[in-house]
């Protein structure tokens, strides 16, 4: 299928760019002997998860059990679930996954460990549990290196569980904080008799600084495969490294200064990521996606009045690629300007 046959709005993935991003990241991790465990929340496509594994990733990361179930059903054999799992229904699903694949999870409190132990007490082999640490990201995670010892003790004493190490999702620019926190925690755990088989960190903005925290043995990245405007403005990638574009059609030009496209918040999302506007328009540096309603996008043409006409098609690099993947049932995989696959976004909407 040729590009001009695609109905808009549509999400296009340039496979050559995505594969280049996969390889560059893998090469970097190989060079620094860091295991790579990509987060599939960015693409939600088994095909690309497999491409990441084929390039050398040790396994994948998922945030939700539903995502992990989709990936396991598609043949992915090693999954880290970076989420506190609570409640009998979810624990039963987790147990089923554990029976099928090499599964590990994270936890940051005793209540979660209690639930995991109850669900896994009679498992044939123990569930690997990493302690989540808050190294400055202000999300989940134990608050100090000292707190890891209590949880490691609890894991070791819990039927059906095995202490597997430490995990963090730091804030951007937090590499030094990760190194300090994890080094101290690792030392305290060693004194208490616990070995950290894995210490896992992540985040695309600081991917190429991962080696500056040598305590880290594994790195989890999601956005790097597609890149987006949030990484572009940080200088973490170039426009040519952005693999995901939203293709949209100009449906109205109410004034020379304003054009309206058929992509609104239901495809570009309202995720601003602290940025002004909703994306970068390829080939039109003077135009901006200035406002969105659900199905309409406003293009500010005031710096180049009249530069768009009804029927024109534009490509937008969104602020945040991962949330855009979650908005569409299918994406168009492109190679050399042609669609070679219309791929179902199999893990789309898997938030449970
Ligand atoms: C736990 C965890 N690990 C890794 C990542 C990957 O981050 P990025 O998309 O910046 O590569 C995320 C992103 O949300 C995450 O939540």
Q: 277 pLDDT band (50/70/90 cuts)? A: very high
Looking only at the bridges linking them, the beta strands covering 288-292 and 330-335 are unpaired
Name the residue among 100, 116, 99 with its Cα closest to residue 108.
116
Give the pLDDT band (50/70/90) at residue 81.
very high
Mean pLDDT of 236-258: 98
Q: Could you tell me if the CB of 227 is within 6 A of ligand 1? A: no
Q: From atom 15 of ligand 1, which residue's Cα is the shortest distance away?
A: 169
Q: Is the CB of 219 under 6 A from ligand 1?
A: no
For residue 263 the two structure tokens come to: 């992509």
Residue 72: predicted pLDDT: 98
Q: Which residue's CA is minimally distant from atom 7 of ligand 1?
A: 203
Specify the CATH number of the domain 15-225: 3.20.20.10
At the second CATH level, the architecture of 230-319 is Beta Barrel (2.40)
Which pLDDT score, from 0 to 100, does residue 1 have? 80
| Rounded distance between C-alpha atoms, residue 295 and residue 9, angstroms | 9
What CA–CA distance (Å, rounded) separates 216 from 32? 10
Question: What's the rounded Cα separation, in Å, for the pair 178 and 173?
Answer: 10
- pLDDT surpassing 90 at residue 338: yes
- The residues that bridge with 203 in the sheet, in sequence order, are none
* Ligand 1 centroid distance, CA of 40 (Å): 9
Q: Give the closest residue to 318 by CA, choosing from 280, 348, 352, 285.
A: 280
Report CA(229)–ligand 1 centroid distance (Å): 16
Say if residue 41's pLDDT is above 90: yes
Is the minimum distance from the CB of 224 to ligand 1 under 6 angstroms? yes
Pocket lining: 21 vs ligand 1, CB cutoff 6 Å: no
The pLDDT tens digits of the residues spanning 97-146 come to 999 999 999 999 999 999 999 999 999 999 999 999 999 999 999 999 99
The residues, ordered by sequence, that sit 6+ positions from 25 with a Cβ below 8 Å of its Cβ are 36, 38, 207, 221, 224, 225
Contact 152, 131 (CB under 8 A): yes
Structure tokens at 20: 């280049």
Instruction: Report how far ligand 1's centroid is from the alpha carbon of 82 (Å).
Output: 9
Mean pLDDT throughout 207-236? 97
**Which atom, in ligand 1's list, is nearest to the CA of 83?**
1
Residue from 171, 185, 211, 206 nearest 34 by CA: 211
Mutational pocket test of ligand 1: of 59, 220, 230, 322, the residue with most ligand atoms within 8 Å of the beta carbon = 220
d(CA 352, CA 346): 14
Question: Residue 156 corresponds to which tokens in the numbers above?
Answer: 């070791």
pLDDT of res. 2: 82
Provide the percentage of residues in the chain whose pLDDT is more than 90.
98
Q: Return the number of other C-beta atoms located less than 10 Å from residue 234's C-beta.
A: 14
CA dihedral 247, 252, 257, 261 (to 10 degrees): -20
List, in sequence order, every residue forming a beta bridge with 11; answer none if it has no partner: 246
Q: How far apart are CA 186 and CA 195, in angstroms?
A: 8
Whether 230-319 and 15-225 are alike in CATH topology: the answer is no
83 lines ligand 1 (CB under 6 A): no
* Domain range summary for the chain, segments of one domain joined by +: 15-225, 230-319
Contacts of 129 (CB under 8 A, 6+ apart): 104, 105, 106, 107, 113, 116, 155, 161, 162, 163, 164
Q: Report the run of H or E that residue 35 belongs to, with start and end.
A: strand 35-36
Backbone conformation region of residue 349, classed left if phi is above 0, alpha if psi is from -120 to 50, else beta: left
């Amino acid at each position: 299928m040729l590009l001009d046959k695609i109905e808009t709005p549509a999400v296009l993935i340039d496979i050559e760019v995505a594969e280049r991003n996969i390889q560059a990241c893998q090469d970097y991790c190989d060079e620094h002997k860091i295991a790579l465990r990509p987060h599939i929340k960015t693409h939600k496509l088994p095909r690309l998860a497999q491409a990441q594994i084929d390039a050398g990733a040790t396994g994948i990361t998922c945030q939700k059990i539903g995502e992990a179930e989709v990936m396991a059903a598609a043949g992915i054999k090693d999954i880290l679930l970076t989420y506190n799992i609570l409640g009998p229904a979810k624990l039963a699903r987790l147990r089923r996954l554990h029976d099928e694949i090499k599964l590990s999870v994270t936890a940051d409190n005793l209540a979660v460990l209690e639930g995991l132990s109850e669900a896994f007490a009679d498992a044939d082999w123990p569930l690997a549990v990493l302690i989540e640490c808050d190294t400055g990201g202000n999300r989940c995670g134990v608050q100090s290196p000292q707190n890891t010892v209590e949880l490691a003790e609890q894991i070791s004493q819990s039927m059906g569980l095995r202490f597997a190490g430490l995990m963090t999702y730091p804030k951007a620019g937090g590499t030094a904080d990760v190194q300090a926190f994890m080094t101290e925690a690792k030392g305290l755990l060693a004194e208490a008799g616990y070995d950290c088989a894995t210490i896992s960190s992540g985040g695309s903005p600081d991917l190429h600084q991962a080696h500056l925290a040598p305590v880290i043995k594994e790195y989890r990245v999601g956005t790097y495969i597609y890149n987006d405007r949030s990484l572009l403005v940080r200088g973490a990638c170039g426009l040519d490294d952005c693999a995901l574009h939203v293709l949209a059609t100009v449906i109205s030009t109410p004034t020379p200064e304003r054009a309206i496209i058929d992509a609104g918040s239901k495809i570009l999302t309202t995720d601003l990521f602290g940025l002004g506007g909703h994306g970068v328009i390829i080939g039109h540096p003077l135009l901006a996606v200035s406002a969105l309603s659900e199905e309409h996008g406003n293009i500010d043409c005031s710096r180049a009045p009249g530069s768009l006409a009804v029927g024109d098609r534009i490509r937008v690099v969104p602020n945040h690629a991962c949330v855009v993947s979650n908005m569409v049932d299918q994406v168009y995989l492109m190679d050399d300007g042609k669609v070679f696959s219309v791929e179902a976004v199999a893990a789309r909407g898997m938030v449970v």
